[in-house]
Structure 1
Amino acid sequence: MELRHRRNENAAPEAQDAEDKSKEEIVVIHDVVMLVLIFFTSLTAVAAAIYMLILHDLEEVEAARIRFPTSLQVAQELGHALQDMTDHSPGRVLIAHGLLYLFLQSWAIPGTVFVNLLGGALFGLAIGFPLCLFYNTLGSCFMYGLSYRYGGKLVKKYLSARLEHMHTMIDAHRNDLTLYMIFLRIFPFSPNWFMNMSSPHVDIPLTQFAPSVAIGLTPYNFLSCKAGLILSALQSKSDIIDTATTIQLIVVAVGGIVGLPMLKARFA
């Protein structure tokens, strides 16, 4: 009887662990399904909007040039194909450009740099730059929200090491978090997609997250939109932000990150 009682005691925690694991797997599956549904719904909506706004009225030759901006060459072809329409129907191109940007940024799909180029090429720096900065910030907030609602367990399961490292970095700068995040964004090699995805899971509130994106990515958005003014003359991605500018951004970012503890110690 005593042996059977001990076996039952050992089996109880194991059964509870198995039940908890099963519930967690169900939650993960639910979150994946929801993300897939939201992704394809938004993809369908953006594709339909672009068709109605842009493709519907373009000639076949011009319509064939309309593709996702996955390279500099495609961005140049898009700029050429959309220039006439921008002159005659700027509102339609503006809406299509914004929807595409938000979709790419919300789902961390590469290509926003080329959409920035198009913003500068089609709308000029005075309009294109603030629009792209707004889209970049809003799209990042959308990704923050998606990750907060449906990505927590996925991020912790598949990116646990990076998430733990991010948590350690953030915890060391809780008292100057917004400034620290701004300098991280300025640094040209920071993985912005991961910062957007992980921020809700390292206790960065949206009220600090959004300003860090808007301010920290201002140089990137300004320079890439400015490069769009000479879109047809660009030869490679390195022409968008040259080496000298990249070094300057690195110096500013590193100087800010290193200097923050010194300033905090001095004025504390």
Structure 2
Amino acid sequence: MAAPRNQIGESGRLLRDEENAAGEKDVSPTCKKPKSERFLLSRWEFTAALGIFFIFSSGLFCIYLTMPAADYGKLKLPRTISDLRMLKDHLASYAKDYPARFILGYCSTYIFMQTFMIPGTLFMSLLAGALFGVIRGLLLVVFNATAGASCCFFLSKLIGKPIVSWCWDEKLRFFQSEIAKRREKLLNYMLFLRITPSLPNLFINLASPIVDIPFHIFFLATLIGLIPASYITVRAGLALGDLKSVKDLYDFKTLSVLFLIGFILVCPTLLKRKKVSE
């Protein structure tokens, strides 16, 4: 009877060895997710991003401390047109009495939102038109939008690649291929993207340093390309009481004009490619 027991014991050991081997395969490095896939940012990148956010937030908080205490409760980032009307009514007297302080606070808030991709800059552009008129409002919006986009560009250059690859992998590959085909007339193409709503401005800000767009091209395209859309938004702020929704800003006629301007800018690139192919 000893022999069968030995055989059973041997079989049991073999079975346990196979299970252990299978378990080791399951937890092998090939089955385990790499650390870079589990966390989008490394510890250093996360610390750098947190430090930059803290510096910006501290500066913004110090600027807000210069405001009268009675105005703190009136401050709220607008999310709807009705919120924007209330904010405009609350801040109109403050903007008139303390123009320098208000402009400093407005610019800091706009740039902060643009840098850290916080939604609501469209409402800030409408507010500029409602409070400052077309000319001053347009200058403010273009300045802030360009400064905020530039800060976002450098922030993305520091930590943006894993985030953009994770959120918009296919769109990033498409953008990279389009940029590669238009290196010689890159400014024209970037102006086209900025003027027309072909790609979201948020994506352009984040993806541009990843696909190696030079900063001077990015800066010029942003500074010039945002003027038409900013003009439309700022001018709409003058008639804030008649505006029902942000969708009313960009109707078919407005979009057609923007695409026409963008097509005129990209025409030299198309004509050059046609001559080369011939």
Change (3 A) 1:27 1:266: same
Change (3 A) 1:232 1:147: same
CA distance in 2, matches of 1:46, 1:104: 11
Deviates more, 1:121-130 or 1:146-155: 146-155
Does the CA contact (< 8 Å) of 2:113 and 2:119 recur in 1? yes
Match of 1:56 among 69, 72, 78: 69
Match of 1:85 among 85, 88, 94: 94
Root-mean-square deviation (CA, aligned residues, Å) is 2.7
Change (3 A) 1:57 1:197: same
Q: Percent identity?
A: 28
Deviates more, 1:137-146 or 1:81-90: 81-90
Change (3 A) 1:22 1:86: closer
Gaps of 5+ in 1: 1-13
The C-alpha deviation readout for 1:104-159, integer Å capped at 9, x for no partner, is: 11112111111111111112222111111011011000000001112233333443
Change (3 A) 1:147 1:66: same
The C-alpha deviation readout for 1:159-180, integer Å capped at 9, x for no partner, is: 3322211100100100000010
2:47 alignment partner in structure 1: 33
SS of the residue 1:124 aligns to: helix
Residue 259 of structure 1 deviates from its aligned partner by 5.7
1:6 alignment partner in structure 2: none
Residue 214 of structure 1 deviates from its aligned partner by 1.0
Does the CA contact (< 8 Å) of 1:167 and 1:202 recur in 2? yes
SS of the residue 1:200 aligns to: coil
The answer on 1:147 being equivalent to 2:156 is yes
Match of 1:100 among 93, 97, 109: 109
Deviates more, 1:37-46 or 1:217-226: 37-46
Which one has a larger percent helix, Structure 1 or Structure 2? Answer: 1
SS of the residue 2:239 aligns to: helix
Residue 22 of structure 1 deviates from its aligned partner by 5.7
The C-alpha deviation readout for 1:176-215, integer Å capped at 9, x for no partner, is: 0001000111112421111110111101010100011111
Does the CA contact (< 8 Å) of 1:178 and 1:212 recur in 2? yes
1:1-268 to 2 correspondence within 5 Å? Answer: 28-50=42-64, 52-54=65-67, 56-58=69-71, 63-254=72-263, 256-257=265-266, 260-263=269-272, 265-266=274-275
Change (3 A) 1:28 1:156: farther
Does the CA contact (< 8 Å) of 2:191 and 2:265 recur in 1? no
Does the CA contact (< 8 Å) of 1:187 and 1:254 recur in 2? no
SS of the residue 1:174 aligns to: coil
Q: How many residues align?
A: 247
CA distance in 2, matches of 1:26, 1:112: 26
1:8 alignment partner in structure 2: none
Residue 49 of structure 1 deviates from its aligned partner by 2.0
Residue 264 of structure 1 deviates from its aligned partner by 5.1
CA distance in 2, matches of 1:233, 1:158: 37
Scaled by the length of structure 2, the TM-score of the pair is: 0.79
Change (3 A) 1:175 1:105: same
CA distance in 2, matches of 1:267, 1:132: 40
Deviates more, 1:173-182 or 1:235-244: 235-244
Does the CA contact (< 8 Å) of 1:53 and 1:93 recur in 2? no
The C-alpha deviation readout for 1:66-96, integer Å capped at 9, x for no partner, is: 2012222221111111111111111111111
Does the CA contact (< 8 Å) of 2:150 and 2:219 recur in 1? yes
Tell me which amino acid in the other structure corresponds to 2:67: I
2:24 alignment partner in structure 1: none
